[in-house]
Structure 1
């Protein structure tokens, strides 16, 4: 009998597991862009704990193990910045990333403070781009970071998400 994955609000006790999972998940991104100095691979534990205190962080658990996570903050203009959507490599391609993305959008839109969702990824991260487009995100900008990396920013209105969820 298999265990099911549950999604819940992260606690400070999850910080170390989240950081270890983040380190594992971003190895493929670092390899893709030839840059192992990216922020997710150099972020200290204290910074993850601060994100837990100051933003919204959800985790997906399989038993006691954190197998996926996503973070977000809402700016004063109502833009919710979704960040670091990570799924353990052995759990990828089973819809867990999409479930987490939906869960954080619902959580942020529920209290009415998020009017728009925004996220970003690298231009070569085709799996990420496919997932985001599938969930209604559209390209709103690009920024060339260096010759190997262009950041792609995507967004969607929270109202569109609320309509889709009720249909």
Structure 2
């Protein structure tokens, strides 16, 4: 490709591009669970924009194109909920998801926020690649919730 991927804070101007990437990235999850009405595929732009204003989001760019993103939000107890770690399908399995996960954790642990006591995220039980990434970074399953027939969400957590 010839270009480096850069990671930076997302802005409100990135919201539409993030939403389009989110829609593309969650097609596989929807297919796995047989449900195309999952929240990442139906989220309105206004909701995503509000998330960006409330928490912290990062984007990875290849040139001018947003090719990956992650969001995080800390609560009053120091729990940082990490959401929507997405990587464009053509760039998966090159370490970009791990780089974004490390960067959002760093932001909340020591960077701009410095409030994290623990990190928590949700993932589908059939997402082997996601589970490998999270477990490889020290996350452990702390909860299991069946949300629909054939669809189970795992809650994973690790100390900051």
TM over 0.5: yes
CA distance in 2, matches of 1:129, 1:7: 23
| Unpaired stretches in structure 2, ≥5 consecutive residues | none
CA distance in 2, matches of 1:91, 1:146: 30
Query: Would you say 1:82 and 2:110 are equivalent positions?
Result: no
Aligned to 2:137: 135
How far apart are 1:112 and its partner, in Å? 2.6
CA distance in 2, matches of 1:52, 1:147: 31
CA contact (8 A) 2:72 2:81 kept: yes
Give secondary structure in 1 for the equivalent of 2:28. helix
Aligned to 1:147: 149
Aligned to 2:33: 33
TM-score by length of 2: 0.97
Aligned to 2:51: 51
CA distance in 1, matches of 2:139, 2:59: 22
- Within 5 Å, which residues of 2 pair with 1:1-20? 2-20=2-20
Give secondary structure in 2 for the equivalent of 1:50. helix
Aligned to 1:109: 109
| Unpaired stretches in structure 1, ≥5 consecutive residues | 159-167
How far apart are 1:8 and its partner, in Å? 0.3
TM-score by length of 1: 0.93
CA distance in 1, matches of 2:153, 2:63: 35
1:70-111 CA deviation, whole Å, 9 max, x = no partner? Answer: 001101110000000000000000000000000000001114
Q: Give 1 or 2: higher helix fraction.
A: 1
CA distance in 1, matches of 2:96, 2:62: 11
How far apart are 1:144 and its partner, in Å? 1.0
Query: Would you say 1:66 and 2:49 are equivalent positions?
Result: no
CA distance in 1, matches of 2:146, 2:37: 17
